[in-house]
Amino acid sequence: MREINASIGFDKRLWREDIAASLAHVAMLEAQGIVSEEDESAIAEGLERIQDEYALKGVKEDPALEDIHMHVEARLAELIGPAAGRLHTARSRNDQVATDFRLWVRNAIDEVEAALAAFQRVLVARAEEHAETVMPGFTHLQAAQPVTLGHHLMAYYEMLLRDRSRFADARRRLNESPLGAAALAGTSFPIDREATAAALGFDRPMANSLDAVSDRDFALDYLAAATLCALHLSRLAEELIIWASQPFGFVALPDDFSTGSSIMPQKRNPDAAELVRGHSGRIAGAMVSLVMVMKGLPLAYSKDMQDDKPPVFEAHDLLVLSLQALAGMVEKTDFNAARMSDAAEAGFSTATDLADWLVSRAGMPFREAHHLVGRIVQLAEEKGCGLADLDLDSLRAIDARIDERVYELLNVNASVRSRTSYGGTAPEGVRERIAAAKKALGEA
C-alpha cells in the first residue's frame, strides 16, 4: 500500500509551487486573524529555510510521507515544532495539489513559449537567407510547383505561431486559483480567497469548490497544445530526414546534431531529427493517457488523479528538448541551394505556370489548358528534357496559340516570382512576411 500510494517520486517536482502556495496561504491566515502573527512568522521562516534546502540539495524522499505536501509539512514540524500544524488550517491536500499543479503548468507554458519564440527566430533568420532559393514544392511527396526555401521555412513559423496562441489560451483559462476550496465544499473559516489568488498571480479564485479540486482541464489543455506542437515538429523533422538522404541531398546536417554509425564510417545519421519524430508519439500518448484517467471520474477528487502529473511532466520535458534540438539543427544545417534548384527544374514543376499562361494569354478554359499541358509534359518525358528545353516548333505542334513568350515563365525562378498573391511564394511576398515576423518577435 505504501508503494502504490506514494507519489513523492514524481510530485517532488512541485516543491517550489508547494512552498509558494503555502507562503501565500499562511500570510492570508494571519491577515484574517486565523493564526497569530508569531505563528505566521515562524511558519514563513521555516518554509523559506526548506526552500533553500531543496534548492541546494533537492528533496530527500521518504516514501512513508507519501507526497511533496507531507514532506514539506514534516520538515516544517522538525524545524519549528507544533506551530507547523497550523499551516494546514482551512486547507486540504485536494485544493493544495490542484493549486500547485496549476502553478507548475503555468510555469511550463511560459518555458514552452520562450522555446517556441526562440525557434521562430531561427526559422525567420534562415528564411531570410533563402528568400530567393528555389526548391520543389511537393504534394504526395511528388514535385508539384517551385517554391522558395524561405517560403517553406516560414510555413513552420506560422505553425508555431498557432502553437503559441494555443498555449496562451491554455494559460489564460488555467489562471484561476483553487486554493481555499479545501477538500471539496469550501471552509467555515473566514478566509480571503481573493488575496491568495492575487498573491500567486492568478486572475481570480475558482467559482465552484467541487470544480476547483476535481478539474484537470488545464493539464489536458496543455497536453493538447503540446501534442499539436509536437506534430508540427515531427513534420519538420521528417522533412530534414528526407532532405538529408542521398537521393535528395538538399541538406548537409551539422555534426553537432547528427551521429555516425557503429560499423559504417561514411554515415551521418539524422538521429536528433528522428528522436524529435519519435518524441511526438510519446507526447501524443501522454495526452491520451490523461484523457483515459479522467474520462469516468465522478466529482470531486479520486486517487486516480494522482496519475495526472507523470504524463504532463514527461510531455513537457520531451517538448522543450525537441524544440531546442530542432532549433539547433535548423540553425546549423547547410542547405544545398543548387541541388534544390536542379530538383525543381527536373520535376516539370512549371507545368501549372504553362497552363495558367494558356488561360491568360490564349483565353482557353483551364481544363482544356490542363489537358494540353499534360500532352506537353508527355512530350518532354519522351524527349528526356525539361519543359524549358522544348523547342517552339514542338510546342506549337501541340497548340498553335503558343508563342515565344511562353519561355518567360518556364524557368523556375520566373515561376516563383510570378506567385505574388497574398501568402504566395514570390520572394517579395516572403520578405514582407519575414519583416512582419521579425517585428512580432521584437527584432525589427
In this structure, are strands 176-177 and 204-205 parallel, antiparallel, or unpaired?
Answer: parallel
| Neighbouring residues of 332: CB distance < 8 A, sequence distance ≥ 6 | 254, 256, 257
Q: Is 264 exposed, middle or buried (0-12, 13-18, 19+ CB in 10 A)?
A: exposed
Any catalytic annotation for residue 370?
no
Separation of alpha carbons 195 and 206, rounded Å: 13
Q: Which of 261, 302, 360, 371 is catalytic?
A: 261
Please give the span between the terminal C-alpha atoms of the chain, in angstroms, as a whole number.
59
Do the beta carbons of residue 251 and residue 240 sit within 8 Å? yes
- CB atoms inside a 10 Å sphere around CB 417: 18
Tell me the DSSP string of 104-119: HHHHHHHHHHHHHHHH
For the record, the C-alpha cell of 251 comes out as: 541538406
Q: Which residue has the cell 491568360?
A: 360
Separation of alpha carbons 129 and 283, rounded Å: 32
Separation of alpha carbons 112 and 323, rounded Å: 8
Do the beta carbons of residue 195 and residue 189 sit within 8 Å? no
Torsion sign (Cα): 210, 308, 320, 9: positive
Q: Which residue has the cell 517550489?
A: 16
Give the three-class secondary structure for 183.
coil
Reading phi first (left if > 0) and then psi (alpha if -120 to 50, else beta), residue 31 is in alpha
Do the beta carbons of residue 230 and residue 287 sit within 8 Å? no
Do the beta carbons of residue 299 and residue 246 sit within 8 Å? no
For the record, the C-alpha cell of 342 comes out as: 536542379
Separation of alpha carbons 326 and 26, rounded Å: 44
In this structure, are strands 142-148 and 134-139 parallel, antiparallel, or unpaired?
Answer: antiparallel
Phi, psi at residue 282, to the nearest 5°?
-70, -35
- CB atoms inside a 10 Å sphere around CB 15: 21
E-strand spans in 216-370?
A: 251-252, 334-335
Any catalytic annotation for residue 140?
yes
Which DSSP letter does residue 265 get?
T
Where in the sequence numbering do the catalytic residues fall? 140, 261
